[in-house]
Structure 1
Amino acid sequence: MEFIEAVTIEVADDSAAQPFHSAAFGLDTQVRVRATDTASTGFRGFTLALTVSQPADVDSLVESALAAGATVLKPVAKSLWGYGGVVQAPDGTIWKVATSAKKNTGPATRHIDDLVLLIGVEDMGASKRFYVGQGLTVAKSFGSKYVEFAAGNGPVKLALYKRKALAKDVGVDADGSGSHRLVIGGADAPFTDPDGFAWETSRLAAAS
């Protein structure tokens, strides 16, 4: 396994969810949906983050997300690290849109520099070792707080964050139970990680 081909969000109504991700962010292939009736309450233990180049792009993407039915968890605002905000899709998925830039260099392009899947973990060391063992390469590491893996040839980066810290970062309570309602596509063979996140065989791996 060297990259994430796509993430699949499990939802109660897949006919309504896919149009949201397309209309809000233009993500037609990187983010997929499928129907499920598995129980899930509270924080699902993950967020999806869009990194863009300037504040105008943050504003444009957040505005289109709200127009498509999202709700605000953290209003768009400046901070010490840049500019960004957090919204929750109608299907419950939490999205963070941010840039490290504090000033615009031109009109909004809506270009997404990085799509990052952040999963909340209980034991950073164990989860990091697990994913290195699965073939991922560490790109950034800040001790027990944050680990980011190289995307390789895939459109989605994977990053690990302590669960409570991740929940705090996006403005929700860390409590949650049941299904993560997320399946990650990119494995050579299906597996489940130490925190219960399921991986399935990617279409590219299945075709090879």
Structure 2
Amino acid sequence: MVMATNASTAAPTSLASVTLEVADLESARRFYSAFGVDTCIQLRTTDAHSTGFRGFTLALTVSGPATVDSFVGAAVSAGATVLKPAAKSLWGYGGVIQAPDGTIWKIATSAKKDTGPATRHIDEVVLLIGVENVKTTKDFYTGQGLTVARSFGSKYAEFTPDPTSPVKLALYKRRALAKDLGIPNDGTGSHHVILGTTNHTFTDPDGFTWETTTHPAPTPS
């Protein structure tokens, strides 16, 4: 249920943090530290059940193919499963992995050739949630106080990021997102992700929960 709040008088809403819900907290901490994304997210335990596609992915943008390979290799060495091997595409170079806790990560670059050695630097992190109707969910979020940074009709919308958060929020059609990740669209149960906000608690039209937080995740160095 959406909490009754007057969006015109409330403070602006933005994505302050992303918390992944996992079954084994210590195992997840070890994995994300080895993967190299532990400063981008927070973790907490859950016994909630889910099957299939959870309706979102976390996407890393990096500088070049060698850095993509470095992150994919680190994830696989730590126990991740490759859903789509890193490869060249029309848009650049990238791959998709699934963490042991079930979270799907896409690592990509717009560069098709390396201009230097691999690094462990992340240029951008995007929480991309799959929605049934991009316009409906976009309008819901603008009603909550988020500002649209870019929008491509009924296909994609991106919101202005919170300067204190390492993660940007974007919307994509659920079916199209699943296809891009190389997985079936069907899924039931918990999303296993909580979006943090310094504003009020609410749930969006696609069942993603926002909770009030006073401790944004640290910005990656």
TM-score category (smaller protein): over 0.9
- Give the counterpart letter for 1:115 in structure 2: V
- Among candidates 71, 77, 99, match of residue 89 of structure 1: 99
Alignment of 1:33 with 2:47, yes or no, is: no
Structure 1 residue 3, shift from structure 2 partner = 2.9
What residue number does 2:114 align with? 104
TM-score, with normalisation over the residues of structure 1? Answer: 0.94
Instruction: Look up the match of 1:45.
Output: 55
Calculate percent identity across the aligned residue pairs: 65
How big is the shift at 1:32?
1.4
CA shift, 1:26, in A, is 3.5
Cα offsets for 1:28-61 (capped at 9, x unmatched) = 3x21111111111110000000001111110111
Aligned residue in 1 for 2:67? 57
- 1:190 aligned partner: 201
RMSD value, Cα? 1.3
**Inter-partner Cα distance in structure 2 for 1:183 and 1:113:** 23
**Aligned length in residues:** 204
User: 1:164 is matched by which residue type in structure 2?
Assistant: R
2:85 pairs with 1:75: yes
Shift of 1:88: 0.2
Corresponding position of 1:144: 154
Q: What does residue 11 of structure 1 align with?
A: 22
- Counterpart-to-counterpart distance in 2, 1:191 and 1:26: 27
Contact 1:73 1:171 in 2 (8 A): yes
Q: Matches of residues 140-179 of structure 1 in structure 2 within 5 Å?
A: 140-153=150-163, 154-179=165-190
Residue of structure 1 in register with 2:138 after alignment: 128
Gaps of 5+ in 1: none
Q: CA deviation at 1:5?
A: 2.2
What is the Cα deviation at residue 187 of structure 1?
A: 4.2
| Distance across 2 between alignment mates of 1:36 and 1:105 | 42
Q: Give the Cα–Cα distance (whole angstroms) in 2 for the partners of residues 19 and 6 of structure 1.
A: 20
Tell me the TM-score normalised to structure 2 length. 0.89
Q: Structure 2: give runs of 5+ residues left out of the alignment.
A: 1-11, 217-221
Q: Is the 8 A contact 1:3 1:156 kept in 2?
A: no
List structure 1 segments (4+ residues) > 6 angstroms apart after TM superposition.
none
Q: Deviations over 1:60-117 (max 9, x none)?
A: 1111000110000000000110000000000000000000001111111221111000
Taking the aligned partners of 2:142 and 2:202, their CA distance within structure 1 comes to 14
Amino acid in structure 2 at the alignment position of 1:20: F
> How many angstroms does 1:27 deviate by?
2.2
**Amino acid in the other structure paired with 2:170:** A
User: Is the CA contact (8 Å cut-off) linking 1:187 and 1:199 kept in structure 2?
Assistant: no
Query: Tell me, what secondary structure is at the counterpart of 1:19?
Result: helix
Please say if residues 18 and 32 of structure 1, whose CA atoms lie closer than 8 Å, have aligned partners that are also in contact. no
Does the 8 Å contact 1:122/1:162 carry over to 2? yes
SS of residue matched to 1:8? strand
